[in-house]
Amino acid sequence: MLSALAASDWDRPKASLLLQRAGFGGTPDEVGTLAALSPAEAAESLLGPSQLVAPEPPAFLSEPDLKATLDSERSKLAALPEKTRAEAKREFAQFARTNQRRHLTELRGWWLKLMADPVRAAREKITLFFHGHFATSYEKVPSPYLLYQQNCLFREKGYGPWSDLVLGVAQDPAMLIYLDGTLSRAEAPNENFARELFELFTLGEGNYTEQDIQESARAFTGWTTGTGNKNKGGLQLGSRPTFKSVAKWHDTGSKTIFRSTGNFDGADVIRLALAQEASSRWITQKLWRFYAGWSAPEPLLQELVKEWQSLKGQIRPFLMAMWTNPNFYDPVRAADRVKSPTEWLVGLCRQIDRPLPAPSLSTHILSQLGQILFEPPNVKGWDGGIAWINTASITRRYEFGSWLVEGTQGLQKLGSLNMVRVASESGAMTVAPPEISPEGMVVTHSAKDMDPAEKQAATEKMRETIALSPAPVASIATSEQRQSPEKLLAAMATRFLAGETIPADLRTRFQQAAGEKIPFTDSAIRKMILAMVQSPLYQVT
């Protein structure tokens, strides 16, 4: 069994560290609540129930079926002259793309809101891990619905058996499309998914052969989606495909995979892969690195593997074991874990007790910081760790930190945003689908067709929606703390720096930021908060 932290070693700094790593940080009161529990009780309270209480789905899922809307107009295309028909098809495609970008913005806002819910934070954190581990991007899967379904899969199976989750991903329509599984037939097996399954998802490089990939690709043939371009595995705009296994497309011949021979299918490949010695090492190291921020050395990794195997790959109890292990709180490595942009944004908003920015603005901030949800850079996902920080990204963290703490009054700080695009992707501009008039003309309703005054009103409304007021600080600093520089500094450090020991030069900087006038005003307190948020220490605590 993995060793567990003694109750006598549990304290407030460790509780704060757990709250940040297992979820997205929190308030001093939440830290105090965890600190009053035992390590196991604290981990259990963050994990929440094993059975998922499903969140309300995003609103766009209840909108009229887009495919039916488009098909009703497309049916009129055949009667149009060729030139007009081509124009109509372009307009339909443009409308669908704009509509789906709006849905994608809403989906991001929906998920960020779940992350900011302290009751759900741990489950959303593991969902975020799997989103990067099983990376799938809107760039190739332009369907917010399918990305939502995959997100739900991670959430629903993220606490259960690892084998169930891997099988679910292999049969997930978004993944099938992303790695070209829908195109795989007995006469032409596609190797993409089999390769990534071994290299990135379950084993790591060097733990399989090219023959294993080729034979496994044969085993996955016939796994496809239930809709698409006839027998081509494509994705029609507005469609909602489901998993389908087509027997006539499956290679029924004998296959040899990891030295075993049989008439294997995709489920067999996953079973064989997870039985390899490298499998437990790969996933336990990735989980440890994601949560702890550093790679487990060999002795610790062996302990993690034994724990994983004794739990038969059950994810929730393994997280519990990790979070209560003394190594998880190693003070020498405490500052090794760099917050991802998503953790930074959600965590800061929780700490300063403000709602998340509007989904369009949150998307803009995260894109500038290097993490666009549902659009990872490639199949490897995000590198994470120190890769989150470079000269440009740290400067932007400091800038966006000032937006969130001090507000964006005057809107000059938002001047880099394309307000017309933001408005259309946020629903502030209502865009109806194109129509074919009785006279055979293509009638469009895009932003470019709007009356200038109407467009101006919509963009102004969008500016008001995304503008940020200064963060409320009345509940953050007490009247007693406002009378004392030392007490105020201690309170702010406890809230924002997880009880870390602050070097003397930083202490001086934080105190100077607030000024010398006592009692400290809301503005002075924000300046101290901002100095902390803009410090290197904040990026890792």
The more confidently predicted of residues 310 and 95 is 310
Per-residue pLDDT for 427 more than 70?
no
Cα–Cα dist 319/313, whole Å: 11
What angle in degrees, to the nearest 10, is found between the helix axes of 315-323 and 277-292? 50
Q: What is the mean pLDDT of residues 169-179?
A: 97
Residue 112, strand partner residues = none
Name the pairing type of β-strands 223-225 and 243-245. antiparallel
Residue where the block lists tokens 């503005």: 523
| Burial classification of residue 23, based on how many CB atoms lie within 10 Å of its CB (0-12 exposed, 13-18 middle, 19 or more buried) | buried
Per-residue pLDDT for 230 more than 60?
no
pLDDT band at 231 (very low <50, low <70, confident <90, very high): very low
Q: List, for residues 307-329, the tens digit of each pLDDT value.
A: 999 999 999 999 999 999 999 99
DSSP letter string, 238-269: T----EEE-GGGS--S-EEETTEEE---HHHH
Residue where the block lists tokens 């369907």: 143
User: Domain boundaries in the chain?
Assistant: 7-47+278-333, 56-119+338-472, 479-540
Name the nearest CA neighbour of 529 among 483, 486, 456, 477: 477
Classified as helix, coil or strand, 444 is: coil
pLDDT band at 81 (very low <50, low <70, confident <90, very high): confident
Looking at residue 70, its pLDDT comes to 66
Looking at residue 228, its pLDDT comes to 44
Per-residue pLDDT for 86 more than 90?
no
DSSP letter string, 302-335: HHHHHHHHHTTTBHHHHHHHHHTSGGGG-GGGTT
Per-residue pLDDT for 439 more than 80?
no
Per-residue pLDDT for 225 more than 90?
yes
Q: What is the 3-state secondary structure (H, E, C) of 179-216?
A: CCHHHCECCECCCHHHHHHHHHHHCCCCCCCHHHHHHH
Name the nearest CA neighbour of 364 among 425, 428, 305, 417: 417
248 vs 77, 80, 177, 184, CA distance in Å?
34, 39, 19, 12
Q: What is the mean pLDDT of residues 511-517?
A: 90
Please state which of the ranges 232-246, 508-522, 523-537 shows the lowest mean pLDDT.
232-246
Q: Are 79 and 400 within 8 A, CB to CB?
A: no
Q: What is the mean pLDDT of residues 3-13?
A: 95
Looking at residue 499, its pLDDT comes to 64
Cα–Cα dist 513/448, whole Å: 47
Looking at residue 99, its pLDDT comes to 83
Q: What is the mean pLDDT of residues 146-150?
A: 97
> What is the distance, to the nearest Å, from the Cα of residue 366 to the centroid of all Cα atoms in its chain?
11
pLDDT band at 26 (very low <50, low <70, confident <90, very high): very high
Per-residue pLDDT for 505 more than 70?
yes
pLDDT band at 239 (very low <50, low <70, confident <90, very high): confident
Percentage of residues in the chain having pLDDT higher than 70: 90
Q: List, for residues 397-424, the tens digit of each pLDDT value.
A: 999 999 999 998 755 666 667 766 776 6
Residue where the block lists tokens 């600190």: 35
Average pLDDT of every residue of the chain: 90
Name the pairing type of β-strands 435-436 and 260-262. unpaired
Q: Are 162 and 283 within 8 A, CB to CB?
A: yes
Per-residue pLDDT for 161 more than 90?
yes
Overall size of the chain counted in residues: 541
Per-residue pLDDT for 479 more than 80?
yes
Name the nearest CA neighbour of 23 among 379, 346, 365: 346
Q: List, for residues 317-361, the tens digit of each pLDDT value.
A: 999 999 999 999 998 887 789 999 999 999 999 999 999 999 989
pLDDT band at 89 (very low <50, low <70, confident <90, very high): confident
> What is the distance, to the nearest Å, from the Cα of residue 470 to the centroid of all Cα atoms in its chain?
27
Q: List, for residues 241-276, the tens digit of each pLDDT value.
A: 899 999 999 999 999 999 999 999 999 999 999 999
Cα–Cα dist 212/352, whole Å: 51
Looking at residue 418, its pLDDT comes to 73
Per-residue pLDDT for 539 more than 80?
yes
Per-residue pLDDT for 191 more than 80?
yes
The more confidently predicted of residues 427 and 96 is 96
Per-residue pLDDT for 229 more than 50?
no
| Burial classification of residue 160, based on how many CB atoms lie within 10 Å of its CB (0-12 exposed, 13-18 middle, 19 or more buried) | middle
